[in-house]
Structure 1
Amino acid sequence: MIRQGSKSFYAASLLLPQRIRTPAYALYAFCRLSDDAVDAVDAPRDAVDRLRERLDLAYAEKPKNIPADRAFAEMVQRYQMPRALPEALLEGLEWDSAGWAPQTLSDTYAYSARVAAAVGAMMTVLMGRREPDTLARACDLGVAMQLTNIARDVGEDARNGRTYLPRDWLSEAGVDVDAFLAKPVFDARIAACVERLLETADMLYDRAIGGIAALPADCRPAIHAARLIYREIGRKVAANSYNSVDQRAVVSKHRKLVLLGTACNAAMWTPHSEPAPALSETAFLVDAVPPFDPERGGVGDYQDTRPMIRIVEILERLERRKQDQLAPRRSS
C-alpha cells in the first residue's frame, strides 16, 4: 500500500529502524484507507462517520476484522497514541468531503494541520518523543510537506473543482477563482501564488530541523530524508517555472537515492535550534499529547532502552562542544 500510495514517503521510511517502521506502516495504512474512503467517487455521505466508528472500535481495543484496523489498534495501545491526533485527521477529511476551501494562509495552515501535521505528531509519538518543542517542529514539517503537495497539485485539484491556494492570494493576484476552476490555465498570476506558497514551505522546512535533532539518533535519517525529498518536489515545481497546472513535478529514483545518502550524513550532526512556539493552527495538536504514562504500559522513551543511541548522542554533544571551543580561535 505504501509503495503504491506514496513513493516519497516509502523511500524515506526505508531508513527507519524496524521497531518504528512496522507501527509507522500501520499508521500509514489507517490514514491511507481513511483518505481513500472519503475521496472515492462513490463515497457515501456518512463516510467520515463510519471512519469515526472504526476509530471508536480501535480505541476500545475491539477493531474491525480488517488488517489495517487491527494493526492500528495495536499501535494505539502500545504507544499511548492520543485520540485527538487521528481525530484531527478525520476532521480534515471531513472538510474535504464538504467542499471546504481556504480563504487565507491561516486557513491553509489549519487544513494542513489536520491532514498532515497530525500525522507528523503521531510519528513523533511513535519515536518516543512527546516534548512540546519537538512536537511543534514535527507539525512544522507536516505543514511544510502539505504546502508542497498543494503547490505540486494545483492543476489536478482545480480539475477536480478544488483549490487549496489561499483565495485571498489568488484575488490579490487578479485571479478569478471560479473561472480558473472552470478552466484551469497556467499564467504568471498562478505562478506568483505557487512561488509564494513554496517560500512559506521553505521557512517551515528550515524550522523543522531543530525537531529532528531531538529525535532518537536512529530515526533522524528517515525524517531528514522525508524533509529533503518533499522539499525537492517544491524545487522541481520551481524549475518548471512554478507551472503545476499543466505538468506534475516528479523526483527521479536516482535523485531520491542521492537525497537518502545526504539524509544519512546530515543525521549525524543535526544542528539544534532555539525553541520556537508552534504555529497557532497546530498548537492544539501539541497540547493534545500528554507525557508517557508508565503505568499504562507500552513503549515510552527509546533513549532509556537503547544504550547505543545514548552513546551516539553523547559523542555528538562532545563533538559540538569541541567545535564551540575551537570557534573563538578560528575567529581570532
Structure 2
Amino acid sequence: MNRKESKKILLADSDRKIHQRIKQARKIERYHFAFAATGTEALEKMYHFQPDLVIVELMLPHIHGIEILKRIRMDSFSKQIGVILLADHVLMQNYQAALRNGCDYFLEKPFSLTSFFSILSHFFEGILLPIPFENKESSASHAYLPKTHSNRSYLKFWGTRGSNGVSGSPYVHFGGNTCCLELRHGKDVLIVDAGNGIRPLGLHLAQIDSIRDIHLLISHTHWDHVSGFPFFAPLYDPSYRIHIWAPIGFDKTIHDLFSEMLVHSLFPVNLEEIKAQLIFKNIYEGIPFQIGSFAIDTHYALHPGATLCFK
C-alpha cells in the first residue's frame, strides 16, 4: 500500500519515546503517521494533515485531551475523524466524559505495539468498541516533601477539607472549611480555590484598605472548590477588581459555571448583579503566566476532570 492510499493517523503525546517506538515499528508502513507533542501543535497539524484518526494523550500539555476531543466533534470539518484517548491512569469520570463527548476508544498506557496496531486495525475495520471501565486501586509510589522557601512570602490555609464543610469539636484542630489558600507577597494577593474557606478570608481582606486587586486561581470546578464563591465579601464592593483564573473544564468555562450558580432560583444575587469588576481568564497546562511578583506554572493533577496544580 503506498502512502497516498494509507490511512492517516495523528499521534499527539508529550512522551517522545512513544513517538520513537511507533516510528521504529515494522507495521508502521501500513499507515501514514504524523506526530505532535502539545495540544496546540496537535490542532495545527490536524487541519494541515487531515488525519483519519487522532490518538491524543488525555493530559496533553497546553490543551487537555477532552478539550481537543470536543473541538474535533464540534467542527464540521473534523467531526468524522476517529479519536482514541491515551492515559497512564484511567479514572471513571475521565472515561465517562470521553465517551460522552464521542471518543471511540480509551487506551491505557503502557501498551504493547502488538495491541496498539491491533486496535488500529479494528478501528479501520469498523469493529473497535470501547472496553468497559474497570476500577483499579492505585497506591502512591512516593511522597512529596516541600522545601522551605523565603519567609517574605505569606501562606495561609483557610480551608483544607474535601467534599463538604463540617463543624463540631472533632474538627477544631484543622477546621471544617473546604479548600481555600491565601498567598501574599508584598501587595500581591493570590487565592487558590474558592471552597467555603473563602468566606472568612473575604471578611479578613475587607478590613485591609490597601488591597483592591485580587487574583483567584481555580484548580478545578468541583463543588468543594467553588461553593464559597458567592459568599466572598469583596464581590459586593465596587472598589475591587477580581481576576478569576481557571482551566477550561469538560463542559463549561468558569464564567458559564458561575453564571449558572448565581441565579435567583439558587441564590439572591446573580452574576450580573455583582458589584466588583470580574475579569475571567482561561489558563492552560504547561503555559506559565505572571501575576505581579508571582511566576506561576501549571501541571495536570491525577484527578477527575481538567484539574491543574500550581507551582
State TM-score, norm by structure 2: 0.22
State TM-score, norm by structure 1: 0.21
Compare relative contact order (CA 8 Å, sep 6+) and give the higher one, 1 or 2.
1
